[in-house]
Structure 1
Amino acid sequence: MKKVTKRVVSVVSVLLLVVSLFASSVLGSVGNSSVKAKAATTSSQLRNVMYYGDWSIWGGEGQFYPKDIPAEQLTHLNFAFLDFDSNGNLKFTDKDAAVGAPVGQDGVQWGGANAGILNAIQDLRAKNPNMKIGISIGGWSKSGDFSAIGENATARANFVSNVMKFIKYTNMDFVDLDWEYPASVRAADLVDNKNDEGTPNAKPADKQNYITLLQDLRTALDKQGVDVKKKYELSVALPASQGLLASGVDVAKLFNVVDFANIMTYDMNGAWTPNSAHHTALYGNPADPNYSSGFSVDQTVQYLKSQGAASDKIVVGAAFYSRGWNKVEAGTSTTQPGLFQPATKNNKDADQSATYGAPNEKPLATGDGGRAGGVWAYKSIDALKAKSPTLVEYWDDVAKAPYLYSKTTGEFYTFENVRSVTAKAQYVKDNNLGGMISWMQSQDKTTTSTKRDELTKTMKQVMLGAGAIAPNTIVYSNLNVEATVAPYSENGVGYEITIKNKEVANETNEVLKATEFAAETVKLPKFYIPVKAGETLTAGDYKAGTVATANGFTTVDLASVYDGQEIPQGATYTFRLKSNLTSVNVNNIANIELTQRMSKTGAELGKQVIFGGGAVVPDPSDTVAPTAPTNLATATANVTDVAVPLSWTASTDNVGVAGYKVYRNGTEVATVSGTSYTDTGLTASTAYTYTVKAYDVAGNVSSSSATLSVTTKAATVTPPVGPGAWDATKIYNQNDQVTYNGHTYKAKWWTQGNVPGAEQWGPWELVS
């Protein structure tokens, strides 16, 4: 056999081969059953969910980068926010923050394919697989177009399709829909935020349209989850107000669709309230003039449960910031002065309108935080006390909430501290809730590390213990990348390797174009090449970067080569590896694996084969066939009524074989690289003759072969089984059938614990 002088392999062909082999060896054993996507089942692990605002990287938040997040304490990280228009097209709220700025990542340049928060949080998750990452869509100032896409099927479909593309390009784990609020009309507050949309087009129909939108997202997430082999989650942000919930949210239907709901149990009182009160209390205090409004965690939880919410999907909120009034009467209580007392409008917002609110930590600016609301980050509470030294800290043991009050100035600040979040976290455990959310990470306080983690860590330890959070499996999508290997002889001999990124830019929307570019660019590549016995590879030119040998691999790291740090869509990159041999054979390069990083110090983002793996383009002049396999054999006792396991001894040749072809009754049924194969899907009590032939890299098949004749066993007949009785603890997928009260029902989507026939719009469809 002649030696192959050039080998090329595309990752696409390798992936198809891998999928095919997986399907025949694993899925084949379950007959015609198929994988069905469904909402993630509720885990016994409680959730510690954190929001991270895209403005956190700028000076106003002290340049708080994703790498500084205490990710080891979190189960979910929400990137806030992504915007959209009335046609369902996605929009950045801050493009530089999302995909432009280096955000403190080592070796990342402005505008690079690995720049911005969206890439940095992927790097953060790679180092902390306990933490899932997701996108929060909408928010207080960007909910104005929800009503439009909710009622318009075309716009809604476009929105859902775009969100699916976005989370695929950014490799996210969940979508968080933050519609504030369905059926609630609100004018834009341009004093607070010049980009605020308000919700001027809200309408009663939003209540049902909200559910429709969520169901469309659920269906799309499940479908895409099957395609990319991961299970996506769907969450929502809900108001704490019972009035807003009643008018805009069908609680029972919503909780039947989502994996969990983040209840915004904060901002329940503030500068808009004419008396002081807690803004994020665990329990309602009957002394509160607005006690009947239910503005506490416990009152909101009880309301949600009464409306059909599953307890273990309820995730309650903690606030990492204060709300404050500028002048509040002391009242008559000596132990809790100032609490639930009348306030006076003796302060002004940026537009000079009167307000009850106290000064903020940041200066007022019309269009950018122009409302005086006494907002101070938790990390700045000590600075607030220093600014107003007459403030005294008090504890309301009924509400389980702290506050600051000055009898001298009348200032009153409601906030969260270690004691209050400890009580909330214990409440979550005691009441079998789903966990806690927090707004927001940049406002937490540093402890013994540089990370802002005091409240974050407290909640994690109470809910999940002091140990490490269980890791998740991170699924990475392979790129369409191929490698070409050719010999060279110049100042020695070696291999010239060309990497081709075959991805093509398709998106035109600003958000999708940027995230597609990031996803489909090879970033800070590192290549793994198995070491051939007796051969050592070193850098053949500067373009090979750092070349090392360890653990049976030669590694080629291009992080130090400016031109090689990114290989964009459609681009190629060539480097050389020098061999210690006097002559080289490209067959010595058995395969090449590619891994990427988001930063020079980042974790590797999975591996993919881009060369080798058995799928090769042979040299047409290679005409010598390998020798035949021998000793084809099978254990008759292992032959079943529908399957025949085969095995044989490997062939030998001067260069080697590429694989084996298996024939059943003269017809080729499989091509395998190993020395065994199980033929399935056969007919019982039937004779079959199998022949196996070896073939080489040129595709030449051996002239001789090994043959075996077998007869399958008689079929075992199992009587058909009808639908089983409905089981409240069992998980049912779409089209599964059950019987209940003498009727047969079919599942319309994934469900667990929902009684068949109990609700008209529920997950069950009456069959008979």
Structure 2
Amino acid sequence: MAFTTVPLTALGAAPWEPNTTYQTGDIVTYGTDTYQCVQGHTSLVGWEPPNVPALWSKQSSPADTQPPTAPADVIASNVTSSTVTLTWTASTDNVGVTGYDVYNGSAVAGSSATTSYTVTGLSASTAYTFTVKAKDAAGNVSAASAPVNVTTGAPVVDTEPPTAPNNLTAPTVTTSSVSLSWTASTDNIGVAGYDIYNGTTLAGSSNTTFYTVTGLTANTSYTFTVKAKDAAGNVSTASNALTVTTLPQNSTQYEIIGYFPSWAAYDSPSFTPSNIDSSKVTVINYAFLDICWNGRHGNPSQSPDNPNPNTWTCQNGDGTVNNAPNGSIVLGDSFTDGTADGGYNQLVKMRQLKNTNPNLKLFASVGGWTWSNQFSNTANDPVTRGNFATSAVNFLRQYQFDGIDIDWEYPNSIGVPCASGQTCQRTADKANYVLLLQTLRQALDTAGQQDGKHYYITIASSANSSFLADAGGTSNWLSNAAQYLDWINIMTYDYYGPWDAASGIVSPLYNDPANTNGNSQFNINSTVTNYLNKGLPANKLTIGEPFYGYGWKGCNAGPNNNGLYQSCSGEATGGSDGSTYDFAYMQNTGLLSADSTGKYTIAGQGYTRYWNSVTQTPFLYNPSTKIFITYDDEQSVHLKNEFIKTKGLRGAMFWELNADRNRTLQSIVSNDLPH
């Protein structure tokens, strides 16, 4: 084929054409719509803008100013001394209703994505007036419904304890944890929860019939019992006693988790599951799946922090609309993930990697930087938490995957600012995150018992200490969440990048006091220390190793003539993607060359390679162009692997497989960490 290059950013919008090279930012028209290129590529027939959302972003439509109609027929039912359930007739909207706010007088009592809501925490024998308002995605709010008046019931005098839990079992046992399951108790009023005992010591409490006891010693016997309790404080007799021995510790086995970006199939050359050496990893996190809300997924935020402000209908793998309920996990791109329009079908092809590595585990990673906008809404409501868990079970069974990885960036502090009129963060996010994980753990344990296997749950967490901090009344929230997790992937990278005014190290192992513009906590050692000090067990933590770097331009040479920790003028543009420099790109373009030992320690193109013995990382500087590049190589990755072993951590996670398509860095990890 003959390909043409058209600088559309200079000429303005033109109709989309096949066999044309497009650059990021180019504007084209297709039909009656306008699209902006979000990833450079050479177009082909079948890659029309509506078909490949990873390449083209549809430009925003006119603003919606019409509010929904008011909810009608509000009815109160199931009135108790402290709760009331409200239901109503759905509102209508010219675009779509996104949810409802329930008011107790003039105060918001709560929000719902459905036409029902249970108000809790009310006082006995007290009159209340409730109204409901509908809202849409643009932030338009309806008029209030007609008020409904409710008087709660009188307080109950209860002296009868619940029945004892029975059939206590342990479906999952590891070296340091035991997941317990039991049959629910009954009570004349209602069971309020369960207390779990390790011998005579209270190990924890649960409001479900599942609980995971953590922090146990390997190869050790423990005896557990469970007691039920009600709201009046009555406690049942103990369940059957269950004695469990934790698994022996095998200190030579580590997890090696590699993220696979589904959109790498669009790269030139394409990077697909067939390019992966599955023997070098124990887990592949397929990135990213998304969350469906009101029949669509994606993030319409117009913030410059959002690389793809587009939304799409929620679809099955063949491209058909699936009408998934709010909070459900859905495919991110049915062309790369499935078979829509003759797509890559990567989710199915990923399973074939188990032919060469039968022990390989496949996880579906949900969210990411761009698609974390619906986590807050999903986690905020028990109905949508249930939808999330149900869809997770369905996905794992359909595609024969082994676990779910949640990449919520970030609870209580969203990375990409919310789209106008939408809610994407709450003070209660961290408390709700724990509830979401609890619901998911219960669903996956139940499915695992039926399927005869253990389904995994992991999360990607921030290296910033603010992620560990409590919010919304929580207490040590991440340690509470960890009981439902198999491990936590800490994103120990992006400590510094070209968003900073001065050059820095993307993933320093230790703090460098010479970085007078930096933060002494912005390094892997400090991050891991903070996690351990919060009570997170070391064998539930992995650290992230970046297989990419960043470049700054206009960096002063500084007193050491190497550009490190010096003021710069912004992002470099010569990387594999703007200011991002994948390690494979640095190899393939001659920025790095192999030395006599085969290690890529020789800089080219006018750069000099330097080694920072404090942060234990390399960097490049070109005094002529004044470009500074921070990255990781074989030497720094090896030292991080040694750190993992010294600290007794679970293993290493890296972002991402495509960035190391020559398999240089992952070979170091595979050789260093027995698996």
Measured against the shorter chain, the TM-score band is: 0.5 to 0.7
Q: Give the partner amino acid of 2:331.
A: F
- Equivalent of residue 573 in structure 2, options 327, 348, 359: 359
* Cα deviation, residue 403, structure 1: 0.6
CA deviations 1:576-612 (Å, max 9, x no partner) are xxxxxxxxxxxxxxxxxxxxxxxxxxxxxxxxxxxxx
Larger RCO (CA within 8 A; separation ≥ 6): 1
Matches within 5 A, 1:619-630: none
2:636 to 408, 420, 437: 420
In the alignment, residue 467 of structure 2 is paired with which amino acid? L
Pick closer, same or farther for the CA change 1:291–1:309 going to 2, 3 Å: farther
Partner of 1:642: none
Aligned match of 1:4 = none
CA separation of 1:118/1:376 partners in 2, compared to 1, >3 Å: closer, same or farther? same
Q: 1:40 to 1:178 in 2, by over 3 A?
A: farther
Q: Does 1:37 align with 2:171?
A: yes
Whether the aligned pair in 1 keeps the contact of 2:576 and 2:582 (CA below 8 Å) is no
Instruction: Spell out, residue by residue over 1:189-221, the C-alpha distance to the aligned partner (whole angstroms, 9 max, x if none).
Output: 9xxxxxx99995212100111111111111111
CA deviation after TM superposition for structure 1 residue 443, in Å: 1.1
Q: Verify: 1:455 aligned to 2:455, yes or no.
A: no
Partner of 2:650: 434
Q: Does 1:300 align with 2:527?
A: yes
Name which of 45, 68, 93 aligns with 2:332. 93
Residue number in structure 2 paired with 1:153:
382
| Pair 1:381 & 2:589 matched | no
Q: Within 5 A, what are the aligned runs for 1:623-642?
A: none
Task: Give the aligned partner of residue 203 of structure 1.
Answer: 426
Give the aligned residue type for 1:269: Y
Give how far 1:226 is off.
Answer: 0.3
Rounded Cα–Cα distance in structure 1 between residues aligned with 2:574 and 2:568: 17
Matches within 5 A, 1:701-720: none
- Per the TM alignment, residue 185 of structure 1 is displaced from its structure 2 partner at its CA by 3.6
Alpha-carbon distance in structure 2 between the residues aligned to 1:89 and 1:257: 20
Question: 1:411 corresponds to which letter in structure 2?
Answer: I
C-alpha offsets along residues 696-755 of structure 1, whole Å, 9 cap, x if unaligned? xxxxxxxxxxxxxxxxxxxxxxxxxxxxxxxxxxxxxxxxxxxxxxxxxxxxxxxxxxxx
- Inter-partner Cα distance in structure 1 for 2:464 and 2:567: 22
**Per-residue deviation, residues 215-274 of structure 1 (Å, max 9, x unmatched):** 111111111100000011111000111123325682211222211000111111111111
Contact 2:502 2:517 in 1 (8 A): no
> What secondary structure, in the 3-state scheme, does the structure 2 residue paired with 1:133 have?
strand
TM-score, normalised to structure 1, is: 0.48
Q: Is the 8 A contact 1:316 1:436 kept in 2?
A: yes
Aligned mate of 1:243, from 459, 466, 472: 466
User: Equivalent residues in 2 for 1:134-149 (5 A)?
Assistant: 134-149=363-378
Helix, strand or coil at the partner of 1:52? strand
Q: Do the aligned partners of 1:242 and 1:300 also contact (CA within 8 Å) in 2?
A: yes
Q: How is 1:560-709 mapped onto 2 (pairs within 5 angstroms)?
A: none
Looking at structure 1, the residues matched to 420 and 635 of structure 2 have their Cα atoms a distance apart, in angstroms, of 37
Counterparts of 1:96-175 in structure 2, within 5 Å, are 96-100=335-339, 110=342, 116-175=345-404
Counterpart Cα distance in 1 of 2:567 and 2:633: 24
Q: Deviations over 1:14-52 (max 9, x none)?
A: xxxxxxxxxxxxxxxxxx977642365466321110000
Structure 1 residue identity aligned to 2:668: T
- Looking at structure 1, the residues matched to 483 and 517 of structure 2 have their Cα atoms a distance apart, in angstroms, of 31
Shift in alpha-carbon separation, 1:74–1:185, aligned structure 2, 3 A: closer
Contact 2:370–2:416 (CA<8 Å) still a contact in 1?
A: no
> What is the aligned counterpart of 1:397 among 613, 616, 624?
613
TM-score w.r.t. structure 2 length? 0.55
State whether structure 2 residue 350 is matched by structure 1 residue 216. no
1:48 aligns with 2:256: yes
Distance 1:128 1:410, change over 3 A: same
Paired residue type of 2:606 = T
In 2, distance between residues paired with 1:207 and 1:395? 39
More strand by share: 2
Deviation sequence 1:510-550 (CA, Å, 0-9, x none): xxxxxxxxxxxxxxxxxxxxxxxxxxxxxxxxxxxxxxxxx
Q: Report which of the two structures shows the higher radius of gyration computed on alpha carbons.
A: 1
- Cα distance in 1 for residues equivalent to 2:637 and 2:280: 15
**1:188 Cα deviation after fit:** 4.7
Correspondence for 1:68 among 253, 275, 281: 275
Letter matched to residue 432 of structure 2:
N
Structure number with higher helix proportion: 1
Counterparts of 2:445 and 2:398, CA distance in 1: 17
| 3-state DSSP of counterpart to 2:335 | helix
RMSD of aligned C-alpha atoms? Answer: 2.5
Aligned-partner Cα distance in 1 for 2:519–2:470: 17
- Residue type of the partner of 1:331? G
Question: Where do 1:296-375 residues align within 5 Å?
Answer: 296-333=523-560, 337-344=562-569, 356-362=570-576, 372=578, 374-375=579-580
1:460: how far off? 1.3
Seen in structure 2, the aligned counterparts of structure 1 residues 384 and 139 have a Cα distance that, compared at 3 Å, is farther
CA contact (8 A) 1:331 1:341 kept: yes
Alignment of 1:171-186 (within 5 A): 171-186=400-415
Q: What percent identity do the matched residue pairs reach? A: 30
SS of residue paired to 1:316: strand
Gaps of 5+ in 1: 1-31, 102-108, 190-195, 345-355, 364-371, 447-452, 470-768
C-alpha displacement of 1:290: 4.6
